[in-house]
Chains A and B, each alone.
Chain A
Amino acid sequence: MSLLEFKNVCKEFDHKPILKNVSFKVESGRIVGLLGKNGTGKTTIIKLINDLLTPTSGEVLINGNKPGIESKKIVAYLPERSYLDRSKKVSQILEYFCDFYENFDITKARKLLKDLGLEENARIAKMSKGMIEKLQLILVMSREADLYVLDEPLGGVDPATRDYILDTILSNFKVGASVIISTHLIADIERILDDVIFVDQGEIVLVDSTDDLREKTNQSIDEVFRGMFRC
């Protein structure tokens, strides 16, 4: 049984197909890049994993179960937007995560916040967008999850922040867990990926391991991607 499996998943909005017959598997212990241009269905795939959408047809299975309470216990999800209550303080958010996630490691979260120089009595409303993004990453990576699903964690950040984000992901995910990272910025991230899934116009166009792909093509993943989707 795979950690995550999409079986012939279709998703329509107002009879317009967004995902067409998407099937793929993710096994445990892999870092997987969900790669594609903007608006090709990456976020829809991620929302389906997290029960924020339901498929029009087909099945999404996490450890063999449909998304639900059991899957939410083991999936840590980082959305591309800010999902925190802006009227709260950092300490209250930590309390919320402790209240609802059994696998949330508050000691680790506190340490990471301290390393970042973020005060626990700071209010979300007064924090910059970049700071909120880092806070959310810390919250998500402080969970001992089996599957981390990160939606565009590198979207529009400067190189220093990009390094911080990649470091935080690499040094904090639970041993043996899998990480799915969606992005259109492939060059920045490809060296940490085990596998790639290319998405285009709602379809999976390529699934392969990065090592095999490099060996086959003698190109970087970024070059392969550019070659496939030349405008």
Chain B
Amino acid sequence: MKYEFDNERPIYSQMADLITKEIVSGKLKPGQKIPSVREYALLMKANPNTVCKALDLLENAKLIYTERTNGKFVTNDLELINSKKKEILSTQIDSFMDDINKMGISKEEILKMLMEKLK
């Protein structure tokens, strides 16, 4: 996976979002060890400080935890991961709905299209 950032938003929050997505999508499994700060910095071609800040954000959200000497791991709390997933889904749908509402498309039309897309 290639990590790309845009320069308009703080890089650390974009980085935290990307790692969150990897966790909820299962790419990083519960209890799995995640790369170190240095490794992430190289992987993402980013400043280690930025990586630290992003990981702090995730740690505060309890999505990852630190084992003193071993490094950082993805949480084993499946409920938390699921709720995070729902949160992301809900924000995505919110922004989707915002756009759609502006165009005045009816609920029935949206549902129909969505059902077709999801088939």
| A and B in contact, CB less than 8 Å | yes
What residues of chain B lie closer than 8 Å to A192, measured between beta carbons?
45-47, 50
The DSSP consensus for interface residues of chain A is helix
CA of A167 to CA of B45, assembled, Å: 7
What residues of chain B lie closer than 8 Å to A191, measured between beta carbons?
5, 7, 11, 46-47
A193 to B47, Cβ gap below 8 A?
A: yes
Task: Kindly state whether residue B9 has any CB partner on chain A within 8 Å.
Answer: yes
CA of A99 to CA of B21, assembled, Å: 50
Residue count of chain B within 8 Å CB distance of chain A:
18
The number of inter-chain residue pairs (CB within 8 angstroms) is 55
**B5 to chain A: closest residue by CB:** A191
What residues of chain A lie closer than 8 Å to B47, measured between beta carbons?
31, 170, 191-194
Q: Quick one: given A170-B42, A171-B42, are A221 and B7 in contact (CB under 8 Å)?
A: yes
A215 to B10, Cβ gap below 8 A?
A: yes
A143-182 Cβ-contact flags toward B at 8 Å (1 or 0): 0000000000000000000010011001100010000000
Q: Quick one: given A29-B49, A31-B49, are A218 and B42 in contact (CB under 8 Å)?
A: no
Distance in Å: Cβ of B36 to nearest Cβ of chain A: 11
What residues of chain A lie closer than 8 Å to B11, measured between beta carbons?
191, 210-211
B40-71 Cβ-contact flags toward A at 8 Å (1 or 0): 01100111111001000000000000000000
Interface residue from B10, B46, B53 paired with A170 (Cβ < 8 Å): B46
What residues of chain A lie closer than 8 Å to B41, measured between beta carbons?
170-171
Task: Kindly state whether residue B109 has any CB partner on chain A within 8 Å.
Answer: no
B49 to A219, Cβ gap below 8 A?
A: no
B10 to A211, Cβ gap below 8 A?
A: yes
Question: Can you show 8 pairs from A to B with CB atoms below 8 A apart?
Answer: A30-B49, A171-B42, A194-B49, A194-B50, A214-B7, A214-B9, A218-B9, A222-B7
Q: Which residues of B contact A (CB under 8 A)?
A: 5-12, 38, 41-42, 45-50, 53
Q: Which residues of A contact B (CB under 8 A)?
A: 29-31, 163, 166-167, 170-171, 175, 187, 190-194, 210-211, 214-215, 218-223
